[in-house]
Structure 1
């Protein structure tokens, strides 16, 4: 049985063409990418040891080996961070022993007060599972009519993969889907992620499971939204981590003047309608 660490190393190895690392092309082979021998040589480990890591038979590589694999695969900083995280959870420091369950949806009062101070800006509190835990009224006005906030427990990840409206609302749906699947690896806990994945996979289908298992670190560029009222919005994202709560405070900022005007107009349509933060 594989492990997240082994799956990631194998996926990255398969995605690398030898020529990009200055290695000779050794002719046709059954699988694409870098050979185990080449990666093992670059990392300074044996082929047998690399095979055990990829197949999940060695779950506790040393920090030196993890760093050597990162160097051998020419990982960028985000990918290196992900590799270290996968080594941590594969090694058992985050192994689930409790019954999988949904995470708490409670937001600290001080975080809610901070959110209110951000009005009339676009801001929300979420977690890595995609739960939308609280938001400003302005955020609701910009997402109205999209279905994102429908129901008592809205969840961005579930919306992206199961609601057809998401493919229209997110102009770059493929990128957003990559982000949401990747973030599950950083969920509030392994237990929570197991619970959520088990709930979502049967209804989300291969679009979800393929992304979850390939460990592509997203770039997170400008967020482009197509609002039902007509305007396309281009938003920069600033994220403040709340590590004690395993939550994030996300602020969405207009990336250009036309977006700023469109957001003002959308907010104007909801003036006079009071709504407490969820």
Structure 2
């Protein structure tokens, strides 16, 4: 059988877990990083052969109890434990009924969501879809992101902003392997990927970003999964100078939709520029 998303995830997380993190002694020479398959199997209470077949895509989907054992063996956090179960469920569905073509996403935002965005008019605020496409933004956010409405559709995406746009290239802190907005966005995309097997548009997005950004490719290969969280956005912009903006993320009732709100420090040049953009009728917004 060919490699499965479940097997790829298990292998990636096994290789990322250091023996010391699993309470094991790193005695002897190890040919590959992380734990051995046998060590994961012992910790999970299953046979080494069974676990090897799971990674290789040669084993039927295990029960929830076995998945929980494997999650504990790999020290998975709650979001990644849920992601593991979703991968298994989708693999079970594909085995039973064959590939499933995902439904098209409706781009329409609710009136309540648009009203919320208009209310958040003193700071950059924007709405993203499940693949972090930019669906709507206010004037300060338009300034911060160099007017997305003026660029090709595939560039109107928060991942592209962080990993591929010219300003993004000057802010490597946004693409660190741990604790960065880039790491969180890739984890969010990976989680979304589990729920949309066979989504060709999503596959094209991943290929495009991987080809243009080695940093994205490295984060994607880590197989971390989870929802986007609040954090810090490092900004280098000709009208803002170098700034660090705190941001928060609000989950919307529509599945996979989020509002990002960036907060400039009091008294900063960025806050003054954002207020000026709000008052300038020549600046644009998409709400």
Q: TM-score range by the shorter chain?
A: 0.7 to 0.9
> Hey, what does 2:158 align to over in structure 1?
156
> Hey, what does 2:286 align to over in structure 1?
277
Deviation at 1:120, TM superposition (A): 2.2
Deviation at 1:102, TM superposition (A): 6.2
Deviation at 1:13, TM superposition (A): 1.3
- 1:97 pairs, out of 96, 100, 112, with 100
Q: Equivalents in 2 of 1:35, 1:25: separation in Å?
A: 11
Q: 1:160 to 1:92 in 2, by over 3 A?
A: farther
- Listed one character per residue, the Cα deviations across residues 190-233 of structure 1 (whole Å, up to 9, x for unaligned) are 16843232255156417244432321357763222122224333
Please, which runs of 5 or more residues in structure 2 have no aligned partner?
none
Point out the more displaced range, 110-119 or 18-27. 18-27
Q: 1:210 to 1:89 in 2, by over 3 A?
A: farther
> Hey, what does 1:211 align to over in structure 2?
219
Deviation at 1:131, TM superposition (A): 0.6
> What are the within-5 Å matches in structure 2 for residues 225-236 of structure 1?
225-236=235-246
Deviation at 1:68, TM superposition (A): 0.8
- TM-score (norm. length: structure 2): 0.80
Q: Is the 8 A contact 1:171 1:224 kept in 2?
A: yes
Q: 1:155 to 1:20 in 2, by over 3 A?
A: closer
Q: 1:161 to 1:226 in 2, by over 3 A?
A: closer
Q: 1:115 to 1:221 in 2, by over 3 A?
A: closer
Answering whether residue 275 of structure 2 is matched by residue 267 of structure 1, we say yes
Q: Is the 8 A contact 1:7 1:213 kept in 2?
A: no
- TM-score (norm. length: structure 1): 0.82
Q: Equivalents in 1 of 2:197, 2:71: separation in Å?
A: 27
> Hey, what does 1:187 align to over in structure 2?
192
The root-mean-square deviation of aligned C-alpha atoms, in Å, is 3.1
Deviation at 1:134, TM superposition (A): 0.5
Q: Equivalents in 1 of 2:31, 2:39: separation in Å?
A: 15
- Listed one character per residue, the Cα deviations across residues 136-164 of structure 1 (whole Å, up to 9, x for unaligned) are 122113333xx655326311223444434
> What are the within-5 Å matches in structure 2 for residues 1-278 of structure 1?
1-92=2-93, 96-98=99-101, 103-144=105-146, 148-151=148-151, 153=153, 154-168=156-170, 171-174=173-176, 175-187=180-192, 190=196, 193-202=199-208, 204-205=210-211, 207=214, 208-217=216-225, 221-254=231-264, 256-259=265-268, 261-269=269-277, 271-273=279-281, 275-278=284-287
Please, which runs of 5 or more residues in structure 1 have no aligned partner?
none
Deviation at 1:14, TM superposition (A): 1.3
Q: Is the 8 A contact 2:181 2:231 kept in 1?
A: no
Q: Equivalents in 2 of 1:73, 1:56: separation in Å?
A: 18
Q: 1:191 to 1:32 in 2, by over 3 A?
A: closer
